[in-house]
Structures are given as C-alpha cells and as structure tokens.
Amino acid sequence: VKLYQDGLIYRGDYIINWCHRCHTALSDIEVEHHPRPEAALWRVRYPLKDQEGYIVVATTRPETMLGDTAVDVKPKDPRYRQLVGRMAILPLLNRELPIIEDEYVDPQFGTGALKITPAHDPHDFEVAVRHGLPLVNIFTESAVTNENAGPYQGLERSEARRRVVADLERLGLVEGQEKYSHSVGQCYRCDTMVEPRISRQWFLRMKPLAGPAVEAVREGRIEFIPSPWAKVYFDWMQNIRDWCISRQIWWGHRIPAWYCRRCGQEIVTVDDPQVCPGCSSEELHQEDDVLDTWFSSALWPFSTLGWPDDTEDLRYFYPTDVLVTGHDIIFFWVARMIMAGLYAVGDVPFHQVFINPLVSDIQGQKMSKSRGNVIDPLDVIGKCGTDALRFTISFLTTPGRDVLLG
C-alpha cells in the first residue's frame, strides 16, 4: 500500500509477457529464452500507396503482420530516405501504414525495414509510444486470432502463420525466405511460447528502487561471494524495467485494491473499505488478480520478523549476516530482497550473499523434473555406493562454478 501511495505501484495498459496455457502474465525474468536454430526469416513486399513499387520488410513472425501499424526504417538510411512520410499498404488487409524512421531500427537486419506490431512486440510498443501509433491486438488470451485478424479470425498461431504465408506467396508478395537462428521466449512453468500482448496489469516502478540497491553493493555494504556475481547483479539492475506484479492464477496474496461499481474509483488500502470515498457507494469489489509470489518473497527478511511493527526480533535479526543461495535466483529473489529492505526498513537485509553452484546435466542445463534430466541419488547409491557419490560430487565441485553431472 505504501508503494502505491508513493507512486511506485500503478495499474495500466502495457505490453506484458502472456502465457496462454497458464492464462497469466509473466515478469521478464519468468520468461526463459531458448534458441531456435532452424527458424525462418521472411522478406515480404508491402506495396506503396499511390505509386509503383514495394518496401520489403523482414520478419520472423509473418502472422503478426495482421496487427501492423507502421513500417520503420533507420533515420537517414539512403535506401528509404525518399519513402519516409509516405504510406505503405498492409498486404492481405489493405490497411494504410505510415513509413516512419526511428533509431531502434538495425539497418543490417534483414532489409533494414521493419514492420511495427506494437501490440505483440515490446520494442515495437516503445516505438509506437514515441510516434503515437495505434495498437492493434490480434490474439485472444488463448493465443487464437480475434476479429482484428479479419478473414484469419479463429486460428491458432501456427495455423495463422501457415495461411498468411500461403496467401502472401499466392499474391507474389514473398520475396524470399531463409534460415534464421534466434531465441524464443517460453513460460518457465510449462515451456509454452510466450505471446507479448497488451493487458491491464499492476506494475512496480523499479528504477527508483534499483538505484539505492546498486549503491549498497558498490559501497561494500553487501558483498557477493564469489565476487564476479556482483557484475551479473549490476548488469541486470542497470537495465531493469518495471515489474509486472499481478498474476491471473488461483492461489496467491490478493492485491489490496477495490473498485467502485458505480463511479469506477480505484481504492488501495490496508483495511477493507466499506464505502467509496468518491461517491459513498457500498458497491465495491476487490481486485481478482493476485500478487506475483516473488513479491511476497522479497519481503521475507523483515515481514517474518513482525514488520511493520518495531519488534524485538526485527531489531535483533535484521539485517542478517549472510544469505546462501543459487545464482539462478539472484534476480528473482536476492535483488528484490535488497530493494525491498532498503525501501521498507532503510537498511540492507544481509551483508554477504554466498552463491552456491548448481548441479547441472552434462549439457549444462539445470536439473529439473520437467526436463526429465534429474539423476536420482538413490539409484546411484544402489549401483555405486554412498562413498562413490560423495567423492564424485566433492571432486567435481569448484567454488562458484556449476557441476556438470551425467
């Protein structure tokens, strides 16, 4: 509630990571990026309005062109300078698209001309904000094309791609296709390909919180052991974005926000409100979304000690001396505990962060049940004995480095 009162928590429409299988938003660090070495890059011709010719754009997701609202080129690119300010025609839907210029464009990628799909790409969303472009969402929460997709409504993403590409080829608008290696974001829970989409969610402004947390490590109030992990921490903190803290799942801490059914006022308070402060209506309903579980985890160092009361336990145990953890949750947990502690209590939650290595499989992937790469120690003990397992783990262990076991 205090974060909200200080203007650090807000609710708004923003592009978020959406898992259509779990039907919930995901924060950036809950998205795992996996390589797709056999992906494709299409070069698609967008006809120019009121003149002959085309501007050719390169894309790895031709199905999302149904949500395009502009074509973007690098400022002063000699190939396209004469086209800036003119209009292109979106193939298949015949919608007019302005040709704009923005520093975001990499002239070396593809043709140097990008389609801008702000409702389904976070970088395109930022371009749209800078240029005042409309947002056209073409997917439902189940990742099926909606009414904005025109004749392609009702299709799953892969089927929409197949039909869009087939129609473009039939019209002679596919100039080429080539293999292209890139990474794809997947849900950390179920491995479903994440779909960026515009959604109304609750967010926490991170930059005001990240600054003091970075200084705490730079000044030596918190020490990472081994020390190279401090650089990993700094790199992430300096490029931090606002954290989407609301989730559309069954279990979790309910967000302490209510809405007035009569006037629509948003009420955030510790105690359950009885009437709307704006219109005195008693018709209030609480927010259905819950908080990201890592939000409550960030409060753990002091919330478990009786905070916000000034308890004896809080005075004695906070801050603690050392936190022992794995490097895989430096961003999920360690950084957020530091930021939350400095904000709520005014002091760091611990003085040292001791990073343990992880036991990974022979390919360097973290062992997990979902991947099926876990080695049951009982099986190893049954075949080789307890001492052999103990010796192997001890022999392979190097401080700060993951163990590859297979």
Q: Kindly tell me if the per-residue pLDDT of 400 is higher than 80.
A: no
Q: What is the pLDDT of residue 403?
A: 83
Compute the average pLDDT of residues 117-144: 95
Provide mean pLDDT across the span 89-116.
95
pLDDT, one tens digit per residue, over 249-304 is 888 899 999 999 999 999 999 999 999 999 999 999 999 999 999 999 999 999 99
Domains of the chain: 2-15+199-356 (3.40.50.620), 36-196 (3.90.740.10), 359-404 (no CATH)
Report d(CA 94, CA 71) in Å as an integer: 14
Measure Cα distances from 23 to 61, 120, 142, 194 in Å.
22, 16, 7, 11
Residue 2 has pLDDT above 90, yes or no: yes
The pTM is what? 0.76
Token readout for 202 is 């609750």
Residue 94, pLDDT score: 96
| Torsion sign over Cα 80, 84, 86, 90 | positive
Beta strands in 279-358 (DSSP E): 284-286, 290-291, 320-326, 350-356
**Average pLDDT over every residue of 205-209:** 96
Residue 232 backbone dihedrals phi, psi, to 5 degrees: -60, -45
What whole-number distance in Å separates Cα of residue 10 and Cα of residue 7?
A: 7
Token digits of residue 292: 């990201």
User: Each residue of 305-345: pLDDT tens digit?
Assistant: 999 999 999 999 999 999 999 888 999 999 999 999 999 99
CA distance 19 to 35: 18
Q: Measured on CA atoms in the order 137, 140, 143, 145, is the torsion positive or negative?
A: negative
Q: How confident is the model at residue 372 (pLDDT cuts 50, 70, 90)?
A: confident
Q: Which pLDDT does position 257 carry in this prediction?
A: 96
Q: What is the pLDDT of residue 371?
A: 76
Question: 297: buried, middle or exposed (CB in 10 Å: 19+, 13-18, 0-12)?
Answer: middle
- Decide if pLDDT at 233 tops 80: yes
**What pLDDT, on a 0 to 100 scale, did the predictor assign at position 126?**
93
Pairing status of strand 246-247 against strand 266-268: unpaired
pLDDT of residue 242: 92
Q: How confident is the model at residue 374 (pLDDT cuts 50, 70, 90)?
A: confident
Check residue 305 and give its pLDDT.
Answer: 96
58/37 Cα distance (integer angstroms): 17
How far is the C-alpha of 350 from the C-alpha of 352, rounded, in Å? 6
Instruction: Work out the average pLDDT over 199-227.
Output: 96
Q: What is the H or E stretch that residue 31 is in? A: strand 31-47
Average pLDDT score over residue span 233-262? 92
Whether the pLDDT of residue 397 is over 90: the answer is no
Q: Cα(383)–Cα(404) distance, rounded to whole angstroms?
A: 20
Mean pLDDT of the chain: 93
The distance between the two most distant Cα atoms of the chain, rounded to a whole number of Å, is 79
User: What is the percent of the chain where pLDDT is above 70?
Assistant: 100
What value does the mean pLDDT take over residues 10-19? Answer: 92
pLDDT of 317 reads 96
